[in-house]
Amino acid sequence: MKEHHFRYSPVALAILFTLTHQYSIAAEKAENSDIAVLDEVVVTESRYAHERQNEVTGLGKVVKNYEEMSKNQILGIRDLTRYDPGISVVEQGRSASSGYAIRGVDKNRVAMLVDGLPQAQSYKTLASQANGGAINEIEYENIRSIELSKGASSAEYGSGALGGAVGFRTKDAQDIIKEGQNWGLDSKTAYASKNSQFVQSIAAAGQAGGFEALLIATERRGKETKIHPAAHQYSHSIERLTGYENRYDLRSNSTLNKPGGRFFLIKDDCPALNCELQANVKQNRIPFSPRTSPAYSEQERKQYEQMPYRKETLSAKEYTGKERIAPNPLDYRSRSIFLKMGYRFNESHYLGGVLENTKQRYDIRDMQTPSYFTAADIDKNDALSLKNSGANERGNLLDAFVFSRGAGRLYGARYSRVKFFDERHEKKRVGLNYEFKPQHAVLAKWIDKAELKWDNQHIHLNSRVHSLHCSEYPVVDKNCRPSLDKPWSMYETERNNYTEKHNIIRLELSKAVETEKLLQSKHKFHLGLGVDHFNSTMNHGDWYIIHTQAGYERVGSGRGTLTQPDIFQRKPRSLQTYHVCNSNSVSVTNCDPRHITGHNRFITLRDLMTSQYLDLGLGIRFDQHRFKSKDDWTISSSYRNWSWNAGITVKPTENIGISYRISNGFRVPAFYELFGKREQSSSRNELTNKDHQNRTLAPEKSTNHEFGVSFKGNFGYFDVSYFRNHYRNLIAESCKINASGVGCVSNFHNTQNVALNGVALAAKFDLHGILSLVPDGFYSSLAYNRVKVKKREILPGFTYTNDPTLDAVQPGRYVIGFGYEDPEGKWGIGTVTTYSKAKLSSELEGSRHLGNHTVKLAGKVTRSWYTHDLTGFVTYKAFTLRAGIYNLTNRKYSTWESVRQSTVNAVNQDLGSNYTRFAAPGRNFSVAFEMKF
């Protein structure tokens, strides 16, 4: 007989406890009415999120409501975490963002949801200039509250909450309608000097009978984030290719005005062949020692002075090239329309709907692309192979040089070399929600509220790159294109259009009960069911090159002398188009759409118990993901994951709480990881087919342990915690060693494990509560976070991969505040000091493993820095004026969040060589004027 052994696990215990706990409560009532009576609990749901909404300890939770966001002058994603150490924004590299970094992981490892809807993934298109990798931007004026959950949080947020999650809740009509009114009108006008951002938002809401509606319209305009003004005092020196006319022989043994190179005429311009002769143009060079006898004539001296590369000094704003320190010019615009409406039929039934359309555009010029040519651009293999047939147009020496980069990339040195990036983001959402609150006694015993929600969300993230060589240097024209009057002009473009669709249905049931026997406790039960049908499509293509084919052909029998010059005539000019996309390829040049469809079915169960001395929280969630693709190199697979969250808080007194939280997280592979890495696989063969078709990916997993102590009272509150996080099976680029040991293909595999720990502290003190002599309204605050890496390793069996370099770990940071807020809320002023420790080089050091040898890796780091900010507000009736001055002392510093754009893990790595380009803004200000009627 076969024996079956049952092994206890946290998930099993959570299920067992929750089910038996509910059963025991019901059983007590049925057995004897004198023993345990379930009192009717009138539930008033909080309109705002709070730290203990989804679990009882509040460990790792940071919650911000709209009023707090307004007070802190939060105008965008980079302002949201300004004073929250341990949470940072991941820069996408082109002014957009790629999500958040929490507890050492970032991007798709930190879930981001709005009203429970997952937002777009960061999709990396490897080896593509257009790339992208951004997430959709959230319009903060539509948001009521935000929860930032640090540590594994998949029981609450599902896949992606490996290191944490960010949950947004949108406003509804009651957030705008004022007390005692049936309508409300809010207006907010704001300006931030650091990026010249202007914000105008208007929100209107009303209710009549059972009907209610909310409309929010927001528009933003801005520029690039400025660097410290001192950086603009920096100047750059360049040595630019100009060419020189080789009319005279200037060597030491030459005679006066001796002819030097070859001479020619262009017959098209001089049919009679009696015009002044042109001399061939040569590439600049380091000049040899000048001839001393006879001395150079005026014309010879002029030629000698033109021989070297031309030295020019450019300001930080004018300079283009790898050493540029000024930011890339940006034109940013955003528009959002948000509509919510609903009808309450009676106390039991409510039907509502939501519509949203949000658009952003980012127009960027890449100023690290030099608009001129230097000696570094001269590649003897192919750079000047054409040399324009040895002739050039009169009056333009650079016309003599034509670069050939192969595959249709032919362009003249006479044109400015320019690159632009266009990012276009759009989010469309439509949804319905039905709410049922039973009034009948029988139903009310089982549920307090039931919600059925349907949402359809389309997110489009489009990026395009423009490479232009069609406007005469130094002119820059984004709209120029090759034409027949511009010989050897060129234009190349490539685009990535990423679309992510979610069609979600959710059912949520909640019930609150209260018992006198079981610790005189209150329970909040929550059951959630849902299915998300998703569709991910990457359309990589529209990749082509246009150039004007030109040149000259020799006619006659000229010898290139003054008496017998070479005679050229222009070849017929034509516009040539080269399409880079190749459907037969399996590399990045394959532009077939990358489709992945599937679904996510999930169920959640949560019980939050609170009592006078003990709080207990248990939550479990089961997710089933199914991915499907018709492409045989894309992984089609199913994933089943259990996630759980358990917490306990012991309260020996009403002022002290001792808490422990344990939770886990998971992340199923991202869409681009399922598609795989293909830029080096130019063709199908036995090896590549075997690798891609047999490749599998497991979900990434994480575990979070957190211990905390909380003190609260009239003095305010003081929370301190210690956490440990362990990440397993992290996905990275690597080469899986096969059994034969012969050949392997680089791809995405589960290759890394990481462990870290840290401490977090958050406190706010009511100084009047501490010392009555201090006037009411004075306060101080303190926040601190530090993460330390304990272990990082590569799993055996992989090569051509990197050690985990933890650039997502934010340096230790202190935030100290002091201020005064009028008890009646009429005015307030406060100061905040932020101190950041230096980024540890050890967190960036590692090795790249290349078979039997390794290559050391390292990266740029930041020094410690501190800033002082001053903010304040004043309210008069329906009007509020808010203002803030940041970096009050105009310090020079660079944040790690900015510098990490230069690391190998960056979405669009900044390859610039000058560290100063990451300098933070100097002294800057923001101001906002609000009206609420």
In tens, the pLDDT along 239-269 reads 999 999 999 999 988 999 999 989 999 999 9
> Is pLDDT above 70 for 278?
yes
Q: Residue 356 and residue 358: Cα distance in Å, rounded?
A: 6
> Is pLDDT above 70 for 158?
yes
Nearest to 190 by CA among 218, 226, 225: 218
Q: What is the mean pLDDT of residues 432-443?
A: 92
In tens, the pLDDT along 637-665 reads 999 999 999 999 999 999 999 999 999 99
Angle at the Cα of 903 (from 899 to 906), degrees rounded to 5? 95
Can you list the alpha helix ranges (DSSP code H) found in 579-714?
671-675, 686-694
Cβ neighbours, 10 Å, residue 535? 15
The pLDDT of residue 690: 82
Q: What is the mean pLDDT of residues 336-351?
A: 97
The pLDDT of residue 641: 98
The pLDDT of residue 839: 92
In tens, the pLDDT along 439-494 reads 988 888 899 999 999 999 999 999 999 999 999 999 999 999 999 999 999 999 99
Q: How many residues does the chain have?
A: 933
The pLDDT of residue 18: 38
The pLDDT of residue 50: 64
For β-strands 865-876 and 879-886, DSSP reports them as antiparallel
Q: Residue 308 and residue 882: Cα distance in Å, rounded?
A: 57
Nearest to 593 by CA among 551, 667, 540, 669: 540
Dump the DSSP string for 733-781.
EEEEPPTT-S---EEEEEEEEEEEEEEEEEEEEEHHHH-TTSPTTEEEE
The pLDDT of residue 742: 59
In tens, the pLDDT along 91-117 reads 888 888 999 999 999 999 999 999 999
> Is pLDDT above 60 for 285?
yes
Q: What is the mean pLDDT of residues 777-785?
A: 97
pLDDT-derived band at 302 (thresholds 50, 70, 90) equals very high
In tens, the pLDDT along 696-748 reads 999 999 999 999 999 999 999 999 999 999 999 999 999 888 766 556 788 99
The pLDDT of residue 404: 85
pLDDT above 90 as % of the chain: 73
**Tokens representing 113?**
């949801």
> Is pLDDT above 60 for 2?
no
The pLDDT of residue 688: 80
Q: What is the mean pLDDT of residues 276-288?
A: 90
The pLDDT of residue 11: 38
The pLDDT of residue 388: 82
The pLDDT of residue 52: 74
Q: Residue 103 and residue 722: Cα distance in Å, rounded?
A: 12
Beta bridge partners of 739: none
The pLDDT of residue 46: 52
For β-strands 349-365 and 813-821, DSSP reports them as unpaired
In tens, the pLDDT along 875-913 reads 999 999 999 999 999 999 999 999 988 888 888 888 887
The structural domains of the chain, ordered by start, are: 61-226+329-367+419-544+579-932 (2.40.170.20)
pLDDT-derived band at 518 (thresholds 50, 70, 90) equals low
Dump the DSSP string for 496-548.
EEEEEEEEEEEEEEEEEEE-SSSTT-EEEEEEEEEEEEEEEEEEEEEEEEEEE
The pLDDT of residue 92: 84
> Is pLDDT above 70 for 28?
no
The pLDDT of residue 99: 92
Q: What is the separation, in whole angstroms, between the first and last Cα of the chain?
A: 77
Mean pLDDT for the chain overall: 90
Angle at the Cα of 504 (from 701 to 334), degrees rounded to 5? 90
The pLDDT of residue 671: 96
